[in-house]
Structure 1
């Protein structure tokens, strides 16, 4: 059933955002918070309230936390957010009795400011939705965009029941398999890794003390990410056939396989809620914009989760696009013109390609059991461990802190 809130009877709106995931919501909030006079409508194909069933969690980098704080969302998130106080990296086989630690990171980028927090997706979504509604963003849910038609001064967006909206700018935030990207004729660079990421939450007997762990195993990285309480979120990479087998095993066998990789340092383990597997690949859009059309989040780029940067790249898109549009609006420019949107594309494309290539290389380097390659990468990890300044640089990069970042990611208003 299609639900509409904040009626769109005037049949026109300044901006339409297709997709009510975290990046779509963050884009809407950033735009409306910074330019309250702009009318914004979110159209989402998912049924109303489906997001409440999302049992996953996400790593929110320090820069994204600053943005969420600036937008008035962080106060609702913080009580449920688990700071990452330390991170360790190991490289071993599943059968190895000992996993030597090659690299450790202190979790702070500034005194009292962790480089990242773990936040459950339902908490993040609720905060962004509540803020969007408070600011006056309109929602049309249970109905995806059927198509759109380009005009000289506007674009017409069509959705079910023969309804349509005229808009000055359409933003596609509809995921890595974006239908709108395809409708716009934007090509992608795409390949699959033959791997799937198993995602689940586990409870354990002993506290994690905020420590995150990334174990590089022959099939791919196995990440243990701390949640509030004696709970952790897992991102477990396996070859696709093995991932499908594991997902379909009963709880006893699944937890036994999990224990082999997780170990017993936190005591007895139990899977909490659902376990799911997602195919992993690299998808990069060749263009981020067309006239009156822009891609954000996974619609623009889908990368391997090895560095935990997927969602944070999307938040960078949201901050950069909001700053581009708001600046243009204040100057009296057409917010949907290609000249305006190309600033956003120039700002974001190099960073996105760079991160996509980096995660691709890291995955290929660490997801194998070649002895010479293993010796070389372990030597490299050991050298980084002995270079505090280089470690500091890496942790600030992971935190998204940069003087060239969009203002919101620096905690500044647009």
Structure 2
């Protein structure tokens, strides 16, 4: 073996980890656990201090985990630690209407009993998910966590990737994965541009307590300014994701609690009895943003770093976990064949697997939002007829239920509940 080749191999062996993951929200830890199970060493870097991430107070933020996503969490060893905090979604009701006028007589009703696999999904609060991910990573010797540090530079050569943190520390790895959100610094430093647009809408997010039980039913109520999702949490509580025009949302969120509830009540209705707020309120500007490439030189993007979409179908985290399952499977199988897991040939397999699916989902959410977030009488008639047709056809309705449960398409093994 000549000296340059020997030097290259020795340098590669001195990496801090096989894989460096930037972003410790939910997708980053899920990927770290999946990769650790298949023998990779991983470092997860997050800008937020671990104490702040682990001891998050109750704030009502929650995720609608599709059944396939729940299977991935089970496969990476965290579901049993969060299951007691998970609320099964047994039904989904979709209606159209105006604030204070009640729903349209045309609606969609999806029931988990139409499929054999179980609930369509589960609602789990953000605070519980983050805590179990942090605990699970701490139990893995092959996972290193770096919290409270920001990546300020990244460089790539033939032997790997070098990251520079804001305290001057450098980290090296064979592959870099960006799980750092819609404004991904990882993507920006790699020169990857994004395509997308702003919706002029802002999501108001909060949790409420109500008098009557929700019975595991999720509601999506479409109104001209934007959709209102009422998502069941454990107990007599629900998570609200409520889209309004951005200027209106800003005014509503600045209101005192009593006034905020007064605006919400006619939109919410009285089917769950009296309601009151629990925890903090949040706002999130809504846009569509897709990275022009999901991969770069020894680098891949996962979750919102690759694709951020409208929350109208609640598929943001589910799409990210599909990325996690696909990337973990591609890297693991390539490694078993003796390939360089950071080579462009390997990373292109990941991109080919995920890019079409995510682009189709992003476009679907975009079309649905534009179709339903208006009061055009012709469009209103068309969508009401469409809902009536879908609701009257069991086969088509069952297809929608399976789609909501994440059971369609080319599923990675982890989302089938299988080991890689």
TM-score by length of 1: 0.95
Q: Which residue of 2 aligns with 1:4?
A: none
Q: Which residue of 1 aligns with 2:27?
A: 23
Which structure 2 residues correspond to residues 122-141 of structure 1 after superposition, within 5 A? 122-136=127-141, 137-141=143-147
Which structure 2 residues correspond to residues 233-248 of structure 1 after superposition, within 5 A? 233-248=239-254
Deviation (angstroms), 1:125: 1.4
Of residues 43, 46, 49, the one that matches 2:48 is 46
Q: Which residue of 2 aligns with 1:104?
A: 109
The size of the alignment, in residue pairs, is 403
More off after superposition, 106-115 vs 183-192: 106-115
Q: Which residue of 2 aligns with 1:362?
A: 368
Q: Which runs of 5+ in 1 are unaligned?
A: 1-9
Query: What CA distance in whole angstroms lies between the structure 2 residues aligned with 1:147 and 1:80?
Result: 39
Of residues 341, 346, 367, the one that matches 1:340 is 346
- Alpha carbons 1:15, 1:170 under 8 Å: kept: yes
Query: Helix, strand or coil for the counterpart of 1:222?
Result: strand
Deviation (angstroms), 1:117: 0.4
Query: What CA distance in whole angstroms lies between the structure 1 residues aligned with 2:306 and 2:273?
Result: 41
| 1:391 corresponds to 2:397 | yes
- Alpha carbons 2:102, 2:269 under 8 Å: kept: no
Deviation (angstroms), 1:70: 1.5
- Alpha carbons 2:106, 2:388 under 8 Å: kept: no
Query: Helix, strand or coil for the counterpart of 2:99?
Result: coil
Deviation per CA, 1:210-238, whole angstroms, max 9, x where unpaired?
11100000101000000000000000000
- Alpha carbons 1:45, 1:143 under 8 Å: kept: yes
Q: Which residue of 2 aligns with 1:295?
A: 301
Query: What CA distance in whole angstroms lies between the structure 2 residues aligned with 1:213 and 1:101?
Result: 14
Query: What CA distance in whole angstroms lies between the structure 2 residues aligned with 1:119 and 1:45?
Result: 24
Query: What CA distance in whole angstroms lies between the structure 1 residues aligned with 2:370 and 2:131?
Result: 36
TM-score by length of 2: 0.94
- Alpha carbons 1:108, 1:115 under 8 Å: kept: no
Query: What CA distance in whole angstroms lies between the structure 2 residues aligned with 1:161 and 1:109?
Result: 54
Deviation (angstroms), 1:403: 5.9
Of residues 388, 407, 410, the one that matches 1:404 is 410
Deviation (angstroms), 1:140: 0.6
Query: What CA distance in whole angstroms lies between the structure 2 residues aligned with 1:315 and 1:97?
Result: 36
- Alpha carbons 2:95, 2:103 under 8 Å: kept: no
- Cα 1:380–1:334 change in 2 (3 A) is same
Query: What CA distance in whole angstroms lies between the structure 2 residues aligned with 1:59 and 1:294?
Result: 25
Of residues 79, 83, 92, the one that matches 2:84 is 79
More off after superposition, 399-408 vs 362-371: 399-408
Query: Helix, strand or coil for the counterpart of 2:352?
Result: helix
Deviation (angstroms), 1:352: 0.5
Query: What CA distance in whole angstroms lies between the structure 1 residues aligned with 2:226 and 2:35?
Result: 38
Query: Helix, strand or coil for the counterpart of 2:98?
Result: coil
Of residues 131, 154, 157, the one that matches 1:151 is 157
Query: What CA distance in whole angstroms lies between the structure 1 residues aligned with 2:169 and 2:131?
Result: 28
Query: Helix, strand or coil for the counterpart of 1:270?
Result: strand
Query: What CA distance in whole angstroms lies between the structure 2 residues aligned with 1:347 and 1:109?
Result: 29
Q: Which residue of 2 aligns with 1:121?
A: 126
| 1:14 corresponds to 2:11 | no
- Alpha carbons 1:211, 1:226 under 8 Å: kept: yes
Deviation (angstroms), 1:111: 3.8
Query: What CA distance in whole angstroms lies between the structure 2 residues aligned with 1:259 and 1:270?
Result: 10
Deviation per CA, 1:133-160, whole angstroms, max 9, x where unpaired?
2122111110011111111121111112
Deviation (angstroms), 1:49: 2.3
Q: Which runs of 5+ in 2 are unaligned?
A: 1-13
CA RMSD, aligned part only?
Answer: 1.3
Q: Which residue of 1 aligns with 2:182?
A: 176
Deviation (angstroms), 1:99: 4.3
Query: What CA distance in whole angstroms lies between the structure 2 residues aligned with 1:271 and 1:111?
Result: 36
Query: Helix, strand or coil for the counterpart of 1:53?
Result: coil
Deviation (angstroms), 1:112: 6.2
Query: Helix, strand or coil for the counterpart of 1:126?
Result: helix
